[in-house]
Amino acid sequence: MNKIAVLPGDGIGAEIVPPALEAVKEAGRKYGYRFDFKHGLIGGAAYDETGHPLPEETLKLCKESDAVILGAVGGPKWENLPVHLRPEVGALLPIRKHLGLFANLRPVQVFPQLADASTLKTELVSGLDIMIVRELTGGLYFGDKKKEPIDGGYRVVDTLVYTTPEIDRVARLSFELAQKRGGRLTSVDKANVLETSRHWREVVVNLAQEYSDVELSHIYVDNCAMQLVRDPKQFDVMVTENMFGDILTDLAAQLTGSIGMLPSASIGGDVALYEPIHGSAPDIAGKDLANPLATILSAAMMLRITYNMEQAAADIEKAVTKVLEDGYRTGDIMQPGMKQVGTKEMGELVLQHLRG
C-alpha cells in the first residue's frame, strides 16, 4: 500500500486538497494502484489544536509515509504569535529541515488555453516551460537571527550561510534536470555583492566540468527578475538560493496567468512533499472560490517523482488540460466567454475526464 500523509493546513487548504486526493485515487484505479491517506495537522490549525504549528505526531506521520501532500499554512489569525510559533516559521521551515527537503522544483508552464490570461503579451508566454530549482534548507531563512537594543532603536541581524555541500547537491540536481530537458542551466546569484553568491558561482562552475552536455550561464538576481518579464522563454532550468528562489518563483507564477496554477515538489530526503505554491488565501476560504488545479497538478508530480507512475501522472495532467480546453475557469483565471466554476465543480470536472 502506498502511504501518503495529507496535511490540509489552513485557509483554503481544506478545500483544495480533497479534489487532489480524488484525482490520485481515480488515476491510480485504472492501473491497479492503491493509496492509504492519513491526515495530520499543520500550521495554524495545528497550533489551535495542540499549541504548536508542527506537532510531533505530524512529523512522525510524515516520516512514516512515502510522500506528503500539503495544502497551505498561515493567515492573519496567527500573525501576532511569537515568531517561532507562526505557521510559516514554525511549520514550513522545520518540516523541510526534518525531512531533508533541500530542493524545491517549481515548473512554470503556460497552458495554451491560458496564454491570454497572463499579464504579459501572449507571444512572450505562449509555450513557456521553465523549471526553477530553489535551494530550500539554507540561506537567510535558516541562518542565525539576532535583535539587540542600541541607542535610538535596535540592531537586527539575519545571517546568510551556505556550505559547499549544500550548494553542490542542489546544483548537481539542476544539472541532471537540464540534461533531461533542453540542456541549458542558468544559475542565479548576486556574486557582484555577496560572498555567499561568489562561492555559489565557484561551486557551480567547478561542477559544470562533469556536465559537458549542459550549457551553463550565470545571471544576477535583479537582472533575472527583469529578464523573466522581458523574455521568459530564454530560460530552461534555473537554480538559485532560498530567498532569491522564493521571490522569483512568485514572479514567474504570474507569467502563467495565476499563481493558482503552479504546483511544486520539495525533494532530497526519503519522503518528498508536494504542494501548490500559493498561500492559504484566508479572504476566500470556505467560499468555494479557490483554484484546486495547482494542488491537483502537485499530486501528479507526486505520482511521477515518488512513485514512478508516469502514465497515471500524465492522465491527471491531460484531464486538467481538457477541462481548460472545455472553457471552465475558476475566478483567478477567468476570461471573457469562459464558464466560471467553483472549487468543488472544478475538481469534479477533472474527475469526469479521468473516468473517461
For the chain, how far is it from start to end, CA to CA, in angstroms? 25
Question: What letter would DSSP give residue 223?
Answer: H
Asked whether the beta carbons of 294 and 261 are under 8 A apart, the reply is yes
- Active-site option among 66, 129, 168, 250: 250
Nearest to 42 by CA among 31, 57, 24: 57
189 is catalytic: no
Nearest to 255 by CA among 286, 232, 281: 232
- Active-site option among 246, 318, 322, 344: 246
Report d(CA 200, CA 193) in Å as an integer. 12
141 is catalytic: yes
Asked whether the beta carbons of 206 and 258 are under 8 A apart, the reply is no
Report d(CA 240, CA 218) in Å as an integer. 10
Which residues is 104 bridged to in the sheet?
A: 134, 266
- Active-site option among 158, 222, 231, 283: 222
Nearest to 104 by CA among 294, 277, 295, 222: 277
344 is catalytic: no
Asked whether the beta carbons of 318 and 353 are under 8 A apart, the reply is yes
- Active-site option among 189, 190, 211, 307: 190
328 is catalytic: no
231 is catalytic: no
Q: Which residues are catalytic?
A: 141, 190, 222, 246, 250
